């Protein structure tokens, strides 16, 4: 138990060292992630695919959102991230874009931290289907060793979760990366990598 708390403390310190400080101070608690059940792993891998059709009448509930964020970049009961990062750099960030603001997922705290009150979704809408997705994730990383690979591990976890839950998802690079970086006030050594749409299938 002591080792687990030590690992969690290390994660918090690393996160604080890597990430910019956001000014709003507003946070949103998330339900505890559900860590049991779901589709067997081999079946989820066999059925994983990209899907671009979303039910515009059905939102993503808080429990599902909490589970998605946890599988992407959370902390497991052993005090480890849910994905590996080379040399334990943990040099990526995960954001939720909403019409009323941008939120960063704080994995060790399993909560959302508000970054700004801007609607940045239009900067991701270079394809028409994007407008129909109820959930928008944005992955960024510190320009350091392996950051883009870490992002890939995170969104693959999300793909497998979505397959298990019957959700539609697709990963996208057709976004205004420089515009997003500017509007989010990311430091010069941070890069926007990809956007991921998620929703219930139409």
At residue 21, the pLDDT reads 53
The pLDDT of residue 6 is 41
Q: Over the range 112-136, which residues count as b (16 or more CB within 10 Å of their CB) and which as e?
A: bbbbeebebbebbbeeebbeebbbb
With 80 as the cut, is the pLDDT of residue 10 above it? Answer: no
pLDDT tens-digit series, residues 117-159: 999 999 999 999 999 999 999 999 997 778 999 999 999 999 9
Report the predicted TM-score, pTM, of the whole model to 2 decimal places: 0.88
**Predicted local distance difference test score (pLDDT) of residue 144:** 73
Identify the CA nearest to 161 among candidates 57, 64, 78, 51.
64
Non-local (6+) Cβ contacts of 65 within 8 A are 30, 96, 135
- CATH numbers and ranges of domains, the chain: 2-199 (3.40.109.10)
Mean per-residue pLDDT over the chain, rounded: 90
Cβ proximity of 130 and 170 under 8 Å:
no
pLDDT over 70 at 9, yes or no: no
144-148, 159-163, 176-180, range with the lowest pLDDT: 144-148
């Amino acid at each position: 138990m002591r080792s687990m708390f030590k690992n969690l403390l290390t994660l918090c310190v690393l996160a604080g060292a890597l990430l910019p400080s956001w000014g709003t101070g507003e946070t949103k608690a998330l339900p505890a992630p559900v860590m049991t059940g779901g589709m067997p792993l081999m079946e989820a891998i066999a059925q994983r695919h990209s899907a671009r059709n979303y039910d515009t009448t059905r939102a993503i509930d808080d429990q599902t959102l909490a589970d998605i964020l946890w599988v992407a970049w959370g902390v497991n009961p052993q005090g480890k991230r849910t994905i590996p990062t080379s040399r334990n750099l943990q040099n990526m960030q995960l954001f939720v874009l909403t019409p009323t603001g941008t939120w960063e997922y704080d994995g060790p705290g399993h909560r959302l931290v508000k970054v700004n009150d801007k609607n940045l979704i239009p900067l991701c809408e270079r394809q028409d289907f994007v407008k129909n997705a109820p959930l928008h994730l944005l992955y960024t990383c510190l320009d350091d060793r392996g950051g883009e690979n870490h992002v890939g591990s995170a969104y693959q976890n999300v793909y497998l979760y979505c397959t298990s839950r019957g959700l539609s998802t697709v990963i996208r690079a057709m976004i205004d990366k420089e515009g997003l970086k500017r509007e989010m006030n990311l430091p010069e050594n941070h890069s926007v990598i990809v956007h991921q749409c998620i929703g219930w299938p139409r």
